[in-house]
Chain A
Amino acid sequence: MSLIQKSAAELGALVAAGEVSAVEVAEAHLDRIAEVEPKINAFLHVDREVTLGQARAVDERLRSGERLGPLAGVPIAHKDIFTTRDMPTTAASRILEGWRPPYDATVTRRLREAGLVILGKTNLDEFAMGSSTENSAYGPTRNPWDLDKIPGGSSGGSSAAVAAYQAPLSTGTDTGGSIRQPAAVTGIVGMKPTYGGSSRYGLIAFASSLDTPGPFARNVLDAALLHEAFSGHDPLDSTSIDAPVPSVVEAARQGDVAGLRVGVVKEFGGEGFQPGVQARFNEAVALLESLGAKVVEISCPSFATALPAYYLIAPSECSSNLARFDAMRYGLRVGDDGTRSAEEVMALTRAAGFGPEVKRRIMLGTYALSSGYYDAYYGQAQKVRTVIAREFEAAYHQVDVLISPTTPTTAFPIGERADDPMAMYLADLCTIPSNLAGNAAISVPCGLADEDGLPVGLQIMAPVLGDDRCYRVAAAVEKALESRWGGPLLKEAPAL
């Protein structure tokens, strides 16, 4: 088996044992990126010399006897929304084209401390607003399973890079489903940690009460290892939780659901769900029962209102957060010819620098926060948020985890929903409630839809700081399904 096919855990063990160097592992992945990137377009920035420099430094640290974590020497693709001192950071926006941040995000810093080697910065929907990566100012990323399909979004570059064996691991951020949905449609594992479990410092803000960094990997244990490597309290993020990281790696190694109470969310199924998605989900429910879980149906009626509430709350926060792009201190400046005022330059720059979806959301948020509309829109959405959190709370009195399909459909064709925002927003129907409540949730592959042969994801949701439960259930499902399939789902993906 070549280096690019190995898991992150295996690569870390090989590097630790001195059987292969971090440089060799990085080179193998950089070569793979060079080979398939013309088809995938997962990366916005790759710099072979910077990456090899990082790898050499890790090899040197290991040689000098420094004790690094289990992922030392393992390469990673890093979503281009985290600041990096040695690589540009653009959030896939023209307004930040070529920007070199003067500081590292906490997630970036922790990756470096753990000895991970950053291969490059991955593509995304501009400022993480979207579900297909088509909203990138630098062109769409393609799904390795079918190059005419979307890889999900907003973290679509990160999901595609892992599914295409360009990297064994990647980072993402999940505001309404931006990790779980891309993981589901590319047949990999993606985890949204509990809000506040991973630091937002140096993460370019979209909706601050929702944004959560999390891991992508080709298997559950690798995702847990990465989760543990970059999570935990950060004094630089005032919403960071000052509590130990749940024991996610141990849970991923256990993978046992005997006696566990599992709730199927009644509202997430039936009409609007692709038959092949529903079929694989129903099989996953039966599988959990056969593994000893106690499965019941749970009704969460207000979850149907999560989507509209989210599309008021997230744009409201975005309209405020993106006010920082004012053409004064960093980023693009357009129209400064000596005659125009700062305000005119600002408006010209923002019109030229932001793409259509970002403009839509800024205006929608500005509307929802306007006096006269505030109570009916933003205020009411905040109340719905409370109602949804209470429904979760009531559900978790009866069950340990909730499950649903991660997405209503498999990957859709590039272009199909690009100018139809309402259709695009439906992709996050099942993932949004966990963001509004700040809960943990994971997506794990559960098969291929019969209609199109594309991957289907199973979503496992758990209460705040119940991240370990997500991994425990996901690992059990993965183990049982891979023994049935005779290997991981990704082996069914076409060669690139």
Chain B
Amino acid sequence: MSAITRDEVAHLARLSRLALTDDELDHYATQLDAIIESVAKVAEVAAEDVPPSSHALPLTNVFRADEVRQSLTPEQALSGAPAVEDDRFRVPRILGEEA
């Protein structure tokens, strides 16, 4: 039995905002199936009572003083933008036609 179906991969692609072709979906379904089967080996480690580590080192939140500092100018912030209008990022419509 496969670990992941082609439909599931298509769903993952949608969640990941990747417009994949049918050929790509076929290809990735096979590869992801093999990878998931292999990484499932993590289940072999008995770790019920072990706390998870999201990070290698103990972390505490770090604060800085709330001071006004120099930041990017609007020109710098917009310098890599695909489209700009009136000192703002110009983006495609974000609501459906009916909205």
Contact = CB atoms under 8 A, between A and B. Distances in A.
A354 B19 CA distance: 11
Given A305-B42, A360-B31, A438-B57, A386 B52 contact: yes
A239 interface: yes
B62 interface: yes
Given A377-B42, A422-B35, A336 B57 contact: no
Contact of B47 (A196, A330, A386): A386
Contacts of A362: 16, 18
A366 B15 contact: yes
Contact of B31 (A309, A327, A343, A421): A421
Interface string A336-360: 1010111111111011001000011
Nearest to A101: B80
A406 B45 CA distance: 24
A363 B8 CA distance: 10
Contacts of B62: 238
Contacts of B80: 99-102, 329-331
Contact of A364 (B36, B64, B77, B89): B36
Interface string B74-97: 001101111100000101111110
Contact of A351 (B18, B43, B59, B79): B18
Contacts of A196: 57
Main secondary structure of the interface of A (DSSP, over half): helix
Nearest to B59: A239
B55 A209 contact: yes
B47 A383 contact: yes
Contacts of B76: 102
Interface residues of A, number: 72
Contacts of A344: 19, 92
A72 interface: no
A5 interface: no
A344 B19 CA distance: 8
A100 to B, nearest CB: 7
A340 B11 CA distance: 20
A328 interface: yes
A305 B46 CA distance: 11
A376 B39 contact: no
A308 B51 CA distance: 18
A216 interface: no
B44 interface: yes
Contacts of A206: none
Interface string B23-65: 0100010011011101111111101001111111101011010
Nearest to A212: B56
B27 to A, nearest CB: 8
B82 A327 contact: yes
A241 interface: yes
Contacts of B41: 305, 308
A347 B39 CA distance: 27
Contacts of B42: 305, 308-309, 312, 377, 380-381, 384
Contact of A312 (B24, B39, B61, B91): B39
A436 interface: yes
A382 B42 CA distance: 10
Contact of A331 (B13, B19, B51, B82): B82
B82 A333 contact: yes
A186 to B, nearest CB: 27
Contact of A350 (B19, B55, B61, B82): B19
A363 B18 contact: yes
Contacts of A387: 45, 47, 50
A485 interface: no
Contacts of A364: 32, 35-36, 39
A151 B65 CA distance: 45
A53 interface: no
Contacts of A209: 54-56
Most A Cβ at <10 Å: residue of B38, B52, B54 = B52
Contact of A366 (B16, B20, B57, B96): B16
A385 interface: yes
Contacts of B9: 363
Nearest to A331: B80
Nearest to A239: B59
Q: Which of A196, A342, A366, A435 has the most CB of B within 10 A?
A: A366
Given A327-B82, A360-B31, A376 B50 contact: no
B82 A386 contact: no
Interface string A102-126: 1100000000000000000000000
A340 B83 CA distance: 15
B35 A311 contact: yes
B50 to A, nearest CB: 5
Given A195-B57, A380-B47, 10 more contacts: A209-B55, A308-B40, A332-B82, A341-B94, A341-B96, A345-B92, A382-B53, A383-B51, A383-B52, A386-B51
For the complex of A and B, the 3 pairs showing the least CB-CB separation, nearest first, are A438-B56, A330-B80, A382-B52
